[in-house]
Amino acid sequence: MSGLSASPASSPVTGGGNVPRHVAIIMDGNGRWAKRRFLPRIAGHRAGAEAVRTVVRAARDMGVQALTLYAFSSENWRRSTEEVSDLMGLLKLYLRREIRELNSENVRLRTIGDLSGLGKDLVALAQEGVEATKNNTGLNFVLALNYGAQDEMLRAVRDIASQVAAGTLSPADIDHASIETRLDTRDLPPLDLLIRTSGERRLSNFLLWQAAYAELLFVDTLWPDFDRKALADALSDYGTRERRFGGR
């Protein structure tokens, strides 16, 4: 259930615990939530979008610096054409509805992943949101769109290889920082806590490099039911953990 994270610093909170600077969530269980209610899958995704609204604001209020949500993975293209279309439509609806409110709440919207693989309308909306909120100083709200950690690392390695081939980088100078500064998350705080909902216990190609020393938390709650209290409970659990970073 638990792992360790990439950096020992974190923010103090009331009660002697610590608030993780960077929280990432694999939002799982929308389909099962809908199935249990005899609803179509899109109803589960719509309920999941409402959970996103709740959790973003809760994370901001609780002092989290960065919240990364796995909104659409590079593997999600394998789903039915109808479901992919529904998800894309829901993402566009969410962005249209939320950009102004995020901006008014001092939340900075960011994206990670290969946006070139998405539709032009969705990319334009995402870029509009990023541009509109770029000067905000509160929570960094990061949407992982068409994201896959293996693809992210492959892109980093290809960039390094091209510099080596061009003679501008020596193989002897390649180190951890050479990878990290080329990752999509390069200007975000190190990942402290990774949560997966719905009872599944795998990372599903999400932030694999960043999770090397992250605390891992797997909860049975389906994503549409993951609310402010669920996030508070997750942060409380994080605050009880002793992080050794391989030192002992």
- What residues contact residue 15 under an 8 Å CB cut-off, 6+ apart? 239
60 marked as part of a ligand binding site: no
CA–CA distance, 186 with 210 (Å, rounded to integer): 10
Strands (E), the chain: 11-12, 18-19, 22-26, 66-73, 108-112, 140-147, 193-196, 215-218
32 marked as part of a ligand binding site: yes
Concerning whether 28 is annotated as a catalytic residue, the answer is yes
Selected catalytic residue, list 28, 140, 184, 192: 28
Concerning whether 187 is annotated as a catalytic residue, the answer is no
33 marked as part of a ligand binding site: yes
Encoded tokens for 15: 């009660």
21 marked as part of a ligand binding site: no
Q: Are 239 and 18 in contact (CB under 8 A)?
A: yes
Selected catalytic residue, list 76, 103, 136, 205: 76
29 marked as part of a ligand binding site: yes
100 marked as part of a ligand binding site: no
128 marked as part of a ligand binding site: no
List residues bridging with 21 in a β-sheet.
Answer: none
28 marked as part of a ligand binding site: yes
Using alpha carbons, list the distances in angstroms from residue 115 to 125, 126, 143, 172: 11, 9, 11, 32
215 marked as part of a ligand binding site: yes
74 marked as part of a ligand binding site: yes
Which of 151, 91, 153, 154 has the alpha carbon at shortest distance from 123?
91
Binding residue positions: 28-33, 41, 45, 73-75, 77, 79, 196, 202-204, 215
Binding residue positions for substrate: 29-33, 41, 45, 73-75, 77, 79, 196, 202-204
Binding residue positions for Mg(2+): 28, 215
Residues annotated catalytic, as ranges: 28, 76
